């Protein structure tokens, strides 16, 4: 009565095949790229809120916001003003700033790059302070912007500032008053 203990080659191959099928099914269920995009969008929302806080601190000292007559990337000048005043430690960079947005679509004054953008209402005179502002960024996942679509901001609706992104999802923030 000699019993062989162990598995046959066919049994081992079946187990490996079943494990491979289950692993493939899991990769199909878990959307790695979608999770990464949502993660980048969460960072964008946090960065916009950080810039909004810095602008409100600036407003509390000067009773106005730094002027910007057209959409500009916050790293072009606004961040320098806020850093020099001690309102923010460093300017946030978009997680995908070097990459272009979706082809053929532009936001924030014909810019199609990922980044953080800022504009204020016009004010009279040189060096004056604005009373309203809008911060905006392009998001990758539509649901990331559901709580604050740029086109639905009070400063955009019926105002002189265009916040349309041609069907693209955009997250925005504005002055609270």
- Looking at the domain assignment, is residue 5 inside a domain? no
Query: How would residue 43 be classed by pLDDT, with cut points 50, 70 and 90?
Result: very high
In this model, does residue 51 exceed pLDDT 90? Answer: yes
Region for residue 104 given its phi and psi (left: phi exceeds 0; alpha: psi -120 to 50; beta: otherwise): left
Query: How would residue 147 be classed by pLDDT, with cut points 50, 70 and 90?
Result: low
- Looking at the domain assignment, is residue 15 inside a domain? no
- Looking at the domain assignment, is residue 21 inside a domain? no
pLDDT, the chain, mean: 81
The pLDDT of residue 73: 85
Q: Which two tokens stand for residue 171?
A: 């997250």
Distance from C-alpha of 34 to C-alpha of 45, rounded to nearest angstrom = 16
* C-alpha of 72 from chain center: 15
Q: Encode 111-145: b = buried (16+ Cβ within 10 Å), e = exposed.
A: bbbbbbbbbbbebeeeeeebebbbbbbbbbbeebb
In this model, does residue 98 exceed pLDDT 70? Answer: no
> What is the mean predicted confidence (pLDDT) over 30-42?
86
- Looking at the domain assignment, is residue 164 inside a domain? yes
- Looking at the domain assignment, is residue 23 inside a domain? no
The pLDDT of residue 49: 92
- Looking at the domain assignment, is residue 11 inside a domain? no
The pLDDT of residue 101: 57
Can you give the residue range of the structural domain that contains 158? 49-174
Number of structural domains (the chain) is 1
- Looking at the domain assignment, is residue 25 inside a domain? no
The pLDDT of residue 55: 93
């Amino acid at each position: 009565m000699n019993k062989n203990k162990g598995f046959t080659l066919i049994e081992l191959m079946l187990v490996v095949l079943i494990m491979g099928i289950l692993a493939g099914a899991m990769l199909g269920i878990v959307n790695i790229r979608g999770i990464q995009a949502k993660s980048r969008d969460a960072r964008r929302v946090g960065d916009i809120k950080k810039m909004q806080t810095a602008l409100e601190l600036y407003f509390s000292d000067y009773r106005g916001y730094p002027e910007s007559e057209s959409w500009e990337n916050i790293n072009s000048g606004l961040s320098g003003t806020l850093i020099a005043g001690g309102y923010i430690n460093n300017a946030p960079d978009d997680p995908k700033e070097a990459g272009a947005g979706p082809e053929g679509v532009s936001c924030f004054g014909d810019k199609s790059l990922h980044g953080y953008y800022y504009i204020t209402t016009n004010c009279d005179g040189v060096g004056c302070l604005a009373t309203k502002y809008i911060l905006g960024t392009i998001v990758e996942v539509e649901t990331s912007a559901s709580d604050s679509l740029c086109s639905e901001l009070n400063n955009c609706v019926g105002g002189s500032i265009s916040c349309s992104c041609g069907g693209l999802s955009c997250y925005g923030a504005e002055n609270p008053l």
